[in-house]
Structure 1
Amino acid sequence: MALWGTVRSDGDEANAVNAVRAALTMRASLAKLNNEWKERGIASFQIGIGIHQAEVVAGNIGCDSPHEKMDLTVIGDGVNLASRLEGVTKEYGVDLVVSEAVRSKLGDAFLLRSADLVQVKGKKVPTAVFAVLGENGTQRPPGLETFEDGVKAYRDGRFTEALGRFNQAADEGLGDTLTHVYQERCEHLIKNPPENWTGVYEMTKK
């Protein structure tokens, strides 16, 4: 767990941008490391990062020595949600996601892609989640606009239209895990129409 703004804060916007940039640096460093390992015949290593911003309790938490140890850390609902967001990266096949609370502080500093509107395990309020593709100026992947149209149709309950958009996005070049997740969901929902659709996906795993 990495923290921004506990002892000294540069402001919510700067903290959010710094956190995402640190995660992107980790992504680039891991890619370099995996390339080196590949040349040596070593299996690649994958990571998942979830970033959230919220008010939490910060302080020296634990027991004083010599019995245990005491560390400067944070606890609270925001910490738990960040942990859950890290977990959803496995669901969507992406390595970096941010919550709506973070997205709202990023401005146009990064290229984002809608991931989902999720209700994570242990939480009652749904959270919009976005995958971070890179810094602003990153080349937009083919099919991104079509995919975003599909997400809107999906959340509106227009599943047949959404499936068509996701299929088109895949044909245009965005046939990755996240698109495939939506294709499978739409196919299921077309065959099994929900009675009360909210567009929220409830995560059952941490």
Structure 2
Amino acid sequence: MQVASDIAHGVDYIHNFTGQNSGLVHNHIKSSSIVVTEGSMTAQICHFGTAELCGEVVEKNSMGPQDKSGGIKKLQRAGSKSVKLEGTRGYISPEFIPSGVAIQRSDVYAFGVVILELLSGEKALKYVFDDGRGYRSVSVIDMAREAVVGGDLRRWIDKRLKDSYPVEVAEKMFSLGLGCVDDDPLRRPDMGNAAHIISKLFLDSETWVKRFTVPAGISISMDPR
């Protein structure tokens, strides 16, 4: 939860608090762009500005008035930038593929993929062998949606956690992750809302940890009396 909260607030800062009011996007949100410090487990987002340094940004668009949803004509933001189709498979939002335009809600989509990775312990995209079809790619989004249909969420959560987590918080994080990867960009939350939700869930998880942490100096024995 610490990592998820740090990432959410980092992307929210890029989108909403740079003071430039220019519809900035990161365009390279992915698990390999996140650095987690040992001990404190705080997360930092790397590669901001990579799109421009690598020559992905090719021109500035004049999009016209911005609507209330943060999009232009239901998609593009005022001040969005046209970019070459560069990205990491598994993190690219559906609207980015045909348009080649990265918008802030493309970052939200990639952030949702990272959330699902954190919850499941799975990679964004992996290859599995299918009898008769050979190897095929399966995304963490597909697996998450299958878990919803099958009502199998707890089995989908990373087994290394061994049920040592607040189930209600995990379910809400799961719901947020799926909301962020909605195929329709207008149905995704903006990063301000996502960061607010995760902050509350982070506090809820800390309360859960304190409730179930054994105080120092107290031992628990499972031996029969």
Q: Say whether the fold is shared (TM-score over 0.5).
A: no
TM-score by length of 2: 0.26
Structure whose residues are more often strand by fraction: 1
Higher relative contact order (CA 8 A, sep 6+): 2
TM-score by length of 1: 0.27
